[in-house]
Amino acid sequence: MKTLEKTLNEINELDQKMMDKAQIRLDQLTKPQGSLGKLEEMAIKLAGIYGELFPELQNKVHIIMAGDHGVAEEGVSAYPQSVTTQMVHNFLANGAAINVLAEGSGAKLKIVDIGMIEDIDNDLLVKAKIKAGTENMTKGPAMTREEAVGALEVGIEQAKKAVEEGADIISTGEVGIANTTPSSAVLAVFTGLDLNKVVGKGTGLNEEGVKNKIDVIQRAIDYNKPDKEDALDVLASVGGLEIAGMAGVMLGAAAMKKAVVIDGLISAAAALTAYKLCPGVVKYLFPSHKSAEPGHIKIYEELNLEPYIDLQMRLGEGTGAVLALPFFDQAVNIIRDMATFEEAGVSKEND
């Protein structure tokens, strides 16, 4: 708990003076003011996070949290629970979508076992297991409060280690069969939104499967009665270990003044949890894509963020987050390398 409390206290405001400088420079560049839209907003926010007009973002690290879910036994996924382990093997063998997309975006992968049922003996896997999967949240809390704190602190430590090893920016991803179920539960508890408006197909459920998923989430919420004003209670009652781990990554990176990129629904549920623990963390968070999962955009709205791309993706793993990473390079390139009107001898708009 000490690590979590210390981290929450270390998350500070952005450098407003540097953000003002960034705005002034952007307005002097050879373009209509604001014409590069969200790239300009990104450049300003990055300046505030790093305290530099032209931050270096060369070293990109993508952290994947892997965990299993007891609620999988309620038939809320189209795939068996064993796929979690199989996919981690695939990550380690460099054969998954995230491997391909991360390489294309120049991001180094770090895969963390925070709560898989099975153990994998591979030196490339970070072994930080809190427990072998969560409990079935329809029959009791998914984890204890202490386990939730432990998982958050695993994420904090992984973010800290990544930064100490040179990470300039961190993106987040996950793997865990059935994890859209706790993610939707976390969203519903924090926001009070109707489950029918936020629960999606996940890995490909049919209509009956979605109805069952909604019923399972409602039963879990009714049984545990999580207190939406207590983020740790919500996380422990109906959350997931990888959700907690990613929330910890976000908090840890923010405390070390690094930008963090959100992925899809599960990563966004982690972001919402981190925000409920420390509202100031959102200043360090960036969206990426809009997932096909209906609850995803609802979380963005809660965080007052807007996705940069919409490719109708719903894979997870952090695939949308790594796809967005080149945008950050371009935002810095624009503010650093474009000429001003004065430098280029270009006339400004008429007064």
What residues are labeled active site?
A: 317
DSSP code at position 52 = -
CA 227 – CA 66 distance, rounded (Å): 26
Distance CA 261, CA 244 (A): 16
Residue 192 burial (10 A CB sphere; 0-12, 13-18, 19+): exposed
Distance CA 284, CA 51 (A): 12
DSSP three-state, residue 313: coil
Q: Alpha-carbon dihedral of residues 291, 295, 297, 302, nearest 10 degrees?
A: -150
Query: Parallel, antiparallel, or unpaired: how do β-strands 259-261 and 169-175 relate?
Result: parallel
CA distances from 147 to 118, 132, 198, 199, 241 (A): 18, 11, 27, 26, 8
| Interstrand relation of 169-175 and 125-127 (parallel, antiparallel or unpaired) | unpaired
Q: Hey, what are 252's tokens?
A: 């840890």
| Residue 309 CB neighbour total at 10 angstroms | 13
Residue 43 to residue 52: CA distance in whole angstroms: 10
CA dihedral 247, 253, 257, 261 (to 10 degrees): -70
Task: Give the C-alpha separation, 282 to 298, whole Å.
Answer: 15
